[in-house]
Amino acid sequence: MSTMLQLFLEFMKIGLIAVGGGPATLPYLMELTEKYDWYTMTDLTNMIAVSESTPGPLGLNMATYAGFKTLGTFGGVVSTTGLVIPSIIIICLIARFLEDFNENKYVRGAFSGIRPAVCAIIAVSVFGVCRVSMFTELNGVYTPIVKTLILCVIVFGLLQVKKLQKLHPAFWLLAAAIAGIVFRF
């Protein structure tokens, strides 16, 4: 199978099954790091940081990056198209039957079942990202990155202060960027 077709199909599969947005795509994006050499786990963690501080969902940014890195601009277009096509088709179908769709007891039941599954997928993703960003792995042994853990504890503590919770998210993005430059992990 050609690389272009693989990019399209793999990202189409992610677009089809990743209900819940960017965080829900993480386990599937992590799986691709083991399957192909399109990007590394470090690339993925960097893209998470970029996606959280810039416009655009993680899955879309990662699809574009993987396609571009693998096959240039056309590869970026192919993999991005693969990711969004399922959503476009589903949205068109839902729009066509929206009235009946909203009231259908089976659809409501399906979404009631999907919600906990999406929460579990996101929890697994958070665990994986924390493991990659807070620990180094050598021969199956995970060693904590002390600076990162200290910074996490400090940020967690600051977020418990009521007045700081009310600060605009842009403040936290700027503070994180400065901390990243100062501590240079």
Could you tell me if 63 and 82 are in contact, meaning their C-beta atoms sit under 8 angstroms apart?
yes
Residue 9, pLDDT score:
93
Alpha carbons 93 and 107: distance in angstroms, whole number: 13
Give the C-alpha distances (Å, rounded to integers) separating 174 from 55, 67, 162, 177, 184.
Answer: 15, 30, 19, 5, 15
Residue 55, pLDDT score:
65
Alpha carbons 106 and 114: distance in angstroms, whole number: 12
* Residue 38 DSSP SS3: coil
Residues for the chain: how many in total?
185
Nearest to 24 by CA among 50, 55, 67, 58: 58
Residue 77, pLDDT score:
93
Alpha carbons 56 and 60: distance in angstroms, whole number: 7
Long-range contacts of 34-38 (CB under 8 A, 24+ apart): 35/10, 36/6, 36/10, 38/7, 38/66, 38/67, 38/69, 38/70
Residue 79, pLDDT score:
93
| First vs last C-alpha separation in the chain | 39
Sign, Cα dihedral of 16, 86, 79, 53: negative
Residues of the chain short of pLDDT 70, as ranges, are 19-22, 53-56, 98-100, 102, 185
Sign, Cα dihedral of 36, 40, 45, 49: negative
